[in-house]
Chains A and B, each alone.
Chain A
């Protein structure tokens, strides 16, 4: 079983601060996805990274995929209260669409 370790488990910051969430594994993934989930809702896909060393930006969110495709990070610049939520990384394969391996999640709270 490929395990994804996500850290930190909980992050509480003030509006305007930056934050980084990490997702690490000893295994190689063909793709790595980041989701955000709000209470009582299903996760929503933020981004999928598939190439080692890839960097993707989504407004104030920057996603990196490690060169060896074993780790990834999510960086939020100038966090806003709307960024509050549970952030989940998930590893999978783009060629088989099998089950995803989820990290434990990072609960982010941004206070005004």
Chain B
């Protein structure tokens, strides 16, 4: 089946630094990647949609200058949290359509802790 590899799985960073999260589609081409944020015991909240070769589309209330998304190739999308603050601590997950199975395949998530 379609696999999306997400790295890192966990990261701890200091306030004010930037963190990059990568999502790679291993056996298929992901022209679209969705980026979610999830707080403990809550559902997924869509942050933005990245499309290969074009600008990402951000959901209302998500700062595009703080959460930089790049989708430079058909197999790689990245999310960079810039100037991180403790309130950015969360679980970030990427997802791509898996058309063969009429579903979406998700990365394993990145637990970001900003100290």
Same complex origin of A and B: yes
Contacts of A107 in B (CB 8 A): 41
Contacts of A92 in B (CB 8 A): 104
Number of chain B residues whose Cβ lies closer than 8 Å to a Cβ of chain A: 27
B77 close to chain A: CB less than 8 A: no
Distance (whole angstroms) from the CB of A22 to the closest CB of chain B: 15
Among the interface residues A31, A42, A99, A100, which one has the most CB atoms of the partner chain B within 10 A? A42
One digit per residue, 1 when the CB lies within 8 angstroms of any chain A CB and 0 when it does not, for chain B 81-106 equals 00000000001010101110111111
Residues of B bordering A, CB below 8 Å: 4, 6, 9, 32, 34, 41-44, 46, 49, 91, 93, 95, 97-99, 101-109, 111
| 17 chain-A/chain-B pairs, Cβ below 8 angstroms | A33-B104, A35-B106, A40-B91, A42-B4, A42-B106, A42-B107, A42-B109, A43-B106, A44-B106, A45-B101, A45-B105, A48-B102, A50-B102, A88-B44, A97-B99, A104-B42, A105-B43
